[in-house]
Amino acid sequence: MATIKATCPSCGDVDLGPRQVRAHVVEAIEDSESRRTYAFTCTTCGDEVIKLADEDTIRLLSSAGVRVERTPVPAEAREPHRGRPINYDDVLDLVLWLESHDQIAEAMALSSGR
């Protein structure tokens, strides 16, 4: 079993096993904007320590047996988008339009079981 050396801000260097370390990657559309961290509970003082990491550190921790949890970017975020983003006025216009079109409102009410 691999021994992982980490540094607690209060206690200094501590030795940990792979099961004592948690790694997490929150992916972003641009890989350079992904957020990578690893965390552990200090074996000396019991404090929870969270540190930023780069991809090499995550790869090294993974090869030592640390389970890496990844939060992927939804596929929709990677799709090309055209036009301007919708804003509050657009939503309000849609609500007002829906209120004035009874056929749509009735169909929605029927489909929701009202």
Write the pLDDT tens digit of every residue in 12-60: 999 999 999 999 999 887 777 889 999 999 999 999 999 999 999 999 9
Q: How confident is the model at residue 105 (pLDDT cuts 50, 70, 90)?
A: low
Global pTM? 0.64
Q: Does residue 76 or residue 40 have the better pLDDT?
A: 40
What are the boundaries of each domain within the chain? Answer: 1-76, 85-114
- Decide if 13 contacts 49 (C-beta within 8 A): no
Predicted confidence at residue 113, as pLDDT, reads 60
Residue holding tokens 């004035």?
Answer: 100
Query: Can you tell me the distance from the alpha carbon of 44 to that of 57, in angstroms, rounded to the nearest whole number?
Result: 23
Query: Can you tell me the distance from the alpha carbon of 43 to that of 46, in angstroms, rounded to the nearest whole number?
Result: 6
